[in-house]
Amino acid sequence: MNSITKQVTDSGHTELAADNALYIESLYEQFLIDPTSVDTDWQDYFKQYQSPNDAHHNAIKDQFLLLARNQTANKGSVASTDGAASNATHRADPKQMGVQQLISAYRRRGHRYAQLDPLGLHPRPEVEDLTLAYHNLAESDLDTIYPTSDLNIGKSEASLREIIEIMERVYCRYIGVEYMHVTSSTEKRWMEKYLESNLGHIEFDKEKRLAILEILTAAEGLEKYLARKYTGVKRFGLEGGESFIPAVNEIIQRAGSYGTKEMVIGMAHRGRLNLLVNVLGKNPADLFDEFDGKVQPEKGSGDVKYHNGYSSNVMTPGGEAHLALAFNPSHLEIVAPVLEGSVRARQVRRNDTDGNLVLPIVVHGDAAFAGQGVVQETFQMSQTRAYTTGGTLHIVINNQVGFTTSRQEDARSTEYCTDVAKMVHAPILHVNGDDPESVVFASQLALDYRHEFGKDIIIDLFCYRRNGHNEADEPSATQPLMYAVIKKLATTRTIYVQKLVAAGVISDAEATKYEDEYRESLDRGEYVVNALVLEPSEELFVDWTPYLGHELQDDWDTSVDIEKLKAYGRKMAEMPEGYTLQRQVQKVVEQRLAMQTGTEPLNWGAAETLAYASLVDNDDIMVRITGEDVGRGTFSHRHSELYNVTDGSMYVPLAHMSEKQARFATYNSLLSEEAVLAFEYGYATTVPNAVVIWEAQFGDFVNGAQVVIDQFIASGETKWQRVCGLTMLLPHGFEGQGPEHSSARLERFLQLCAEDNMQVITPTTPAQIYHALRRQGVRPIRKPLIVMSPKSLLRHKLATSELEELANGKFETVLSEIDNQDASKVTRLVLCGGKVYYDLLEQRRALGLDHVAIVRIEQLYPLPEARMVAEIEKYSNLEEIVWTQEEPLNQGAWNYLAPNMFRIVVPHPTKAELMRPVARPASAAPATGSAKLHVQQQQALIAGGLGITVDQLAK
């Protein structure tokens, strides 16, 4: 580019002026696709910059623009140049450049002028760069013939009038396409060809149009039927957005023709019942029974009907396909990452590396899509190694109003509710919901794009709510102008029928017959989906029966032959030839080999990795671990990923324990808690024979994912009968690191415990974490496991285990006193859990307090009452029983334990007073930020637990 300083056209205009940079760019992109499609002079000029790399092309584009600006700034001087570029420039026609710029403007800005709003409440303002004058063109040029350059219309030249008509039909009618933010030239050119070669729409034949009418009739018909039968009952109907149903139906059938075998759909409330009946094939009679209150949950609490999921099989042009609608709470967008996790698990099960066999479809509301941060998190995950699903097809049911908020300046800071999707360069198809054929075309385009490029794409379905937020709401109280228009507006189906009648496709009587037949089917309680497969193939879904109906048992054999464990240790220490590890990591590998072969006691990391090795090999259980920095482990204890210092390559020994290489996977996640934990929940609810683990970088970071814990992990089974074996490792321990790095909020999990919904443990030895992880995999029970993981215990001199404990033991819900205390002399029993045990033990030993016994409660829920009673009964001369915890009195386990101790302690003969707590003072924050104050609190805590004064503590 340095050899070119200025190019001057015959007319005296500077070709490389700033407003011509787009023209040069478009020529260059055209050259990249087909060099022969541009003049030979331009070919010679562009060859010096040609690169297959789009990123490099972006740099060249910037150079074009910079050069153009420099040329504009130096109009006064004309530098002579040599070569083909100069000759080509002198022959350039400024009018042709204007036409090319106008074409480019339609591609970039046509969506700003498209007819998107069915209500017409927001007239589209004139877009300056879509005017002739902006590009130095005039009406006198309209009938001039110009080359069409890269315009995909099947002819090499056309009049300016025809070009404008085509561009307005493609980019400014009922579909407005945003794709120029996409960085890939290949994708942009694909989009242009798809749109322009079809002139923005496909001329559907009569059969297709009648098929659209039939399903549109069903969409409207169900809502009318429910409105009459259950007047005023909340159902979050689809009135105003009925084109959503033809859209989803089109996606399913077209995906099936591509060979897709499973489609997983996530959506909030609006239109959900319609989708269930008219797409997934739920029997209307079953839905009516739910409205009538005839259906009660067989187990648990159940949920409202517009939260429930469903699955079915339908026939497509490519064969039978399985459809699954995910369960979803009222936190509207949280279902997106849950669904993605389920899809990823299904793809792994099918060895679907391209994502063509399993398709994720996520349906959003406009207000939630723009407002909820989990949307951004899910998009950011979409192309990462751990979470990609080969692209997601998003549909936004854009009501143009939230609950009562319709003013854009209140709802968002962006022009469109979908602008957040631009962060991953996803194309966005804005489409008018009152034109069903445009909606169906957009659905075809979206599915084809996802199939071609494996990336996310968004359909922004502009529609409206004919009723309020729900059927009991009066919307005109807050949107009087909007609902004045809606009350006068014909329904989408009515508008489409009028169009088909005018085109001679159908008569009014025939259209009415469609309505009558659908209503009669509902009256008879018949299935209304013609493609429904009533006897689905069992190959399309997983049988969870072996994992259902079991009681939550504590005692479970998790032993493994000791020689096998030693073999796992040796194998994990083997490195590929020529592999050189960083010095400290090499030392860890060598020490771990000694531990895992029985030469030295095992620390936490050695025991944990042995658990994984035995699961993937001995028990054929898949293990998946994700979270921030889990490969190494936040506290440098895991080292499941080893890096070659010479070339940076990564080796994962645990992935080579089994001949089935895909049985173990560990991924460092993006810095997200909510979306990542939701993803892993979705994954764990889809694959039964797996130990799926999410580890928080620090336990308190889990706060950012509280909605996942509350609405899925803790309650998913009782609401929806969705069993889940997800394991959460939450670092927890008061070590002077301040309020944000001490507590995993144990109290919150215990408050959520009921109906055997999950397990909460505070393991204190490597053998305990080993057996807890193995129990989670080998036991045919799938319950969430919440592990309050120690931090300092990862390398504590007392927190070790022998290899024999791993080989022969099991997880112990209670660990007895380990020193040889004379039970008859014990007058004080200290119950505790977690790291504080070792602080108490060391002081008890140092001071020789023979009258104090210390017992660890390793599982807090389900509470091992019988084991606790057995421990209490060992000591007949007890005078005191205390619960000692590091957490403040209003946090931790005390408020959960206190009422249970009445049941456990009182009925058993003992002189001891009712158990009392020893804890930090009640506090609004989990811990102090002062290291000095932390030490003082900890000393007081240990002294209180042992029943002595601080001055008596061993120094």
pLDDT in tens, 636-652: 999 999 999 999 999 99
pLDDT at 81: 41
Mean pLDDT for all residues in the chain: 89
> How much is the CA Rg of the chain, to the nearest whole Å?
34
The residue to which tokens 């088909």 are assigned: 500
pLDDT at 2: 33
Separation of alpha carbons 759 and 749, rounded Å: 9
| pLDDT tens, residue by residue, 183-215 | 999 999 999 999 999 876 778 999 999 999 999
Determine the distance from the C-alpha atom of residue 862 to the mean position of all C-alpha atoms in its chain, rounded to a whole number: 30
Separation of alpha carbons 189 and 175, rounded Å: 18
pLDDT at 82: 45
Separation of alpha carbons 493 and 332, rounded Å: 28
Q: Could you tell me the two tokens for 682?
A: 């979705």
Q: Kindly report the pTM of this predicted structure.
A: 0.89
Q: Could you tell me the two tokens for 944?
A: 């209180």
Half-sphere exposure of 146 (CA within 13 A, CB side): 27
pLDDT at 251: 98
pLDDT at 94: 86
Q: What Å distances lie between residue 356 and 48, 353, 515, CA to CA?
A: 39, 8, 36
pLDDT at 799: 95
Mention every residue, 6+ apart, whose C-beta is less than 8 A from residue 830.
Answer: 840, 852, 853, 854, 855, 882, 884, 945, 946
Q: Residues of the chain with pLDDT > 90: what percent?
A: 74
Containing 943, the helix (H) or strand (E) segment is: helix 931-946
| pLDDT tens, residue by residue, 505-514 | 999 999 999 9
Helix intervals (H) in 575-729: 583-596, 604-617, 674-684, 706-708, 716-720
Q: Would the pLDDT of 75 be above 80?
A: no
Mention every residue, 6+ apart, whose C-beta is less than 8 A from residue 292.
Answer: none
Amino acid at 239: E
Task: DSSP for 15-74, please give it.
Answer: TT-GGGHHHHHHHHHHHHH-GGGS-HHHHHHHHTT--S-HHHHHHHHHHHHHHHHHHHHT
Q: Would the pLDDT of 18 be above 70?
A: no
The DSSP secondary-structure symbol of 330 reads S
pLDDT mean over 822-836: 96
Determine how β-strand 880-888 pairs with β-strand 622-627. unpaired
Q: Could you tell me the two tokens for 848?
A: 């020789």
Q: What angle do CA 376, 378, 384 make, to 5 degrees?
A: 115
Q: How many CB atoms lie within 10 A of CB 511?
A: 20
Q: Would the pLDDT of 778 be above 60?
A: yes
pLDDT mean over 124-132: 90
Give the fold, CATH level 3, of 229-472.
Rossmann fold (3.40.50)
pLDDT mean over 837-850: 96
Confidence of residue 37 (pLDDT cuts 50, 70, 90): low
Closest to 329 in 3D by CA, of 304, 297, 296, 362: 304
pLDDT at 565: 97
Containing 176, the helix (H) or strand (E) segment is: strand 175-178
The DSSP secondary-structure symbol of 947 reads T
Q: Would the pLDDT of 87 be above 70?
A: no
Q: What angle do CA 766, 767, 772 make, to 5 degrees?
A: 100
**Contact (Cβ atoms closer than 8 angstroms) between residue 853 and residue 847:** no
pLDDT at 892: 97
Report how far apart the first and last C-alpha atoms of the chain are (Å, whole number).
75
Q: Could you tell me the two tokens for 273?
A: 């019942």
**Report for 306-310, 469-473, 891-895, 906-910: range of highest mean pLDDT:** 891-895
Confidence of residue 552 (pLDDT cuts 50, 70, 90): confident
Give the fold, CATH level 3, of 562-808.
Rossmann fold (3.40.50)
Half-sphere exposure of 209 (CA within 13 A, CB side): 17
| pLDDT tens, residue by residue, 399-420 | 998 888 888 888 888 999 999 9
pLDDT mean over 556-575: 95
Q: Would the pLDDT of 119 be above 50?
A: yes
Domain segments of the chain: what residues? 229-472, 562-808, 815-952
Least reliable range by pLDDT among 257-266, 273-282, 475-484, 854-863: 475-484
**Report for 403-412, 462-471, 766-775: range of highest mean pLDDT:** 766-775
Containing 690, the helix (H) or strand (E) segment is: strand 690-695
The residue to which tokens 């190959």 are assigned: 539
Closest to 20 in 3D by CA, of 84, 101, 90: 101
**Contact (Cβ atoms closer than 8 angstroms) between residue 457 and residue 427:** yes
Task: DSSP for 835-892, please give it.
Answer: THHHHHHHHHHHHT-TTEEEEEE-EEES--HHHHHHHHHT-TT--EEEEEEEEETTST
Separation of alpha carbons 916 and 904, rounded Å: 13
Closest to 528 in 3D by CA, of 273, 241, 234: 273
Sign of CA dihedral 672, 673, 678, 683: positive
Q: What angle do CA 884, 887, 893 make, to 5 degrees?
A: 65
Q: Would the pLDDT of 298 be above 80?
A: no
Least reliable range by pLDDT among 146-160, 298-312, 781-795: 298-312
| pLDDT tens, residue by residue, 595-630 | 999 999 999 999 999 999 999 998 889 999 999 999
Mention every residue, 6+ apart, whose C-beta is less than 8 A from residue 651.
Answer: 575, 576, 579, 641, 642, 643, 644
pLDDT at 787: 98
Mention every residue, 6+ apart, whose C-beta is less than 8 A from residue 737.
Answer: 927
Determine the distance from the C-alpha atom of residue 789 to the mean position of all C-alpha atoms in its chain, rounded to a whole number: 25
674-684 and 335-349 helices cross at what angle (nearest 10)? 40
pLDDT at 315: 96
Q: Would the pLDDT of 13 be above 50?
A: no
SS3 930: coil
Q: Would the pLDDT of 469 be above 70?
A: yes
- % helix / strand / coil in the chain, to the nearest 5? 45, 15, 40
Containing 453, the helix (H) or strand (E) segment is: helix 436-453
**Report for 87-91, 539-543, 818-822: range of highest mean pLDDT:** 818-822
Least reliable range by pLDDT among 35-39, 587-591, 645-649, 772-776: 35-39
Closest to 196 in 3D by CA, of 132, 160, 150, 242: 150
Torsion-angle region of 165 (φ positive above 0: left; ψ -120 to 50: alpha; else: beta) = alpha
Q: What Å distances lie between residue 345 and 549, 625, 634, 679, 694, CA to CA?
A: 23, 13, 26, 10, 15
Closest to 438 in 3D by CA, of 250, 162, 264, 180: 250
Separation of alpha carbons 807 and 802, rounded Å: 9
SS3 547: helix
Same fold: 229-472 with 815-952: yes
Domain 815-952 top-level CATH class: alpha beta
Sign of CA dihedral 759, 765, 769, 770: negative
The DSSP secondary-structure symbol of 425 reads T
Confidence of residue 534 (pLDDT cuts 50, 70, 90): confident
pLDDT mean over 743-769: 96
Beta-bridged to residue 831, according to DSSP, are: 855, 883
pLDDT mean over 861-870: 94
Confidence of residue 699 (pLDDT cuts 50, 70, 90): confident
Omega within 30 of 0 (cis) for the link into 536: no
Separation of alpha carbons 730 and 760, rounded Å: 11
Q: Would the pLDDT of 84 be above 60?
A: no
Q: Could you tell me the two tokens for 294?
A: 């005839």
pLDDT mean over 424-435: 97
Separation of alpha carbons 23 and 15, rounded Å: 10
Closest to 856 in 3D by CA, of 876, 825, 835: 835
Least reliable range by pLDDT among 86-100, 264-278, 890-904, 937-951: 86-100
pLDDT at 911: 63
pLDDT at 258: 96
**Contact (Cβ atoms closer than 8 angstroms) between residue 449 and residue 457:** yes
**Contact (Cβ atoms closer than 8 angstroms) between residue 352 and residue 692:** no
Q: Could you tell me the two tokens for 371?
A: 């407002």
